[in-house]
Amino acid sequence: MTMERKSSKKIFLEQIELLYGNAMVPILVSVLVGGLFCWSLKDATPLKTLLIWYALLFVVSVARISLIILFRKRRVGYGNSRLWYNYFLIGTYAAAAVWGVTSFLLYPEQSQQNQTVFFLILTGLAAGAIASLCPSLPAVLGY
C-alpha cells in the first residue's frame, strides 16, 4: 500500500469517527424538535397523522442511536470502514426522508403562523445537519 493510499484510508476512517461522534446530540435534538413540532401543529393537522409521523421519526432515531452504540463497541478498521459509512448514510437518508415528508403530510395550509413555525423548524434542522454532517459531502447533500 502506498503512503498516499494509506493516508487516504486514515482520513476516511477519521471522517467516519467524526460522523458517528457528532451524531448523538443532533439525533436527540431532532426527536425533541419533532415533539415540539407536533405540538405546534396539533390544531392544524389531524392527530393520527402527527402520531404516525412522530412514531416514524422515533423509530428511525432509535435505529440510528443503536447504530452509534454498536459503532462505539466495535473496532472499525480499513476492511469494514465502507460498511459503517454506508450504514451511517442509510440512517441519515432515512431521517432526511422522515423530515422531508413533512411538507406533504404536515404542512399547515390554513395557518400562516404555523407555516412560519414549520419553515423555521425545517431550516434550523437543515442548518444543524450541515454542521454535524460536514465530514461527508454525500451525507450533507442527502439531508
* pLDDT recorded at residue 1: 56
Nearest to 118 by CA among 132, 142, 100: 100
Cβ pair 91, 63 in contact under 8 A: yes
* pLDDT recorded at residue 109: 76
Cβ pair 65, 91 in contact under 8 A: no
Whether the full predicted model's pTM is greater than 0.85, yes or no, is yes
* pLDDT recorded at residue 4: 65
Task: Name the band, by pLDDT with cuts 50, 70 and 90, for residue 103.
Answer: confident
pLDDT at 23 over 90: yes
pLDDT at 59 over 60: yes
Task: Name the band, by pLDDT with cuts 50, 70 and 90, for residue 112.
Answer: confident
Average per-residue pLDDT in the chain? Answer: 89
Which residue in this structure is represented by grid cell 412514531? 55
* pLDDT recorded at residue 136: 83
Q: Domains in the chain: how many in total?
A: 1
122 or 61, greater pLDDT? 61
pLDDT in tens, 3-15: 667 778 889 999 9
DSSP 8-state symbol, 74: S
Domain hosting residue 42, numbered range: 3-142
Nearest to 122 by CA among 142, 96, 92: 96
Cβ pair 53, 38 in contact under 8 A: yes
Task: Give mean pLDDT, residues 88-114.
Answer: 87
pLDDT at 125 over 90: no
Collapse the DSSP code of 119 into the 3-class scheme (helix H, G, I; strand E, B; otherwise coil) and give the result.
helix
Report d(CA 40, CA 43) in Å as an integer. Answer: 8
Cβ pair 66, 36 in contact under 8 A: no
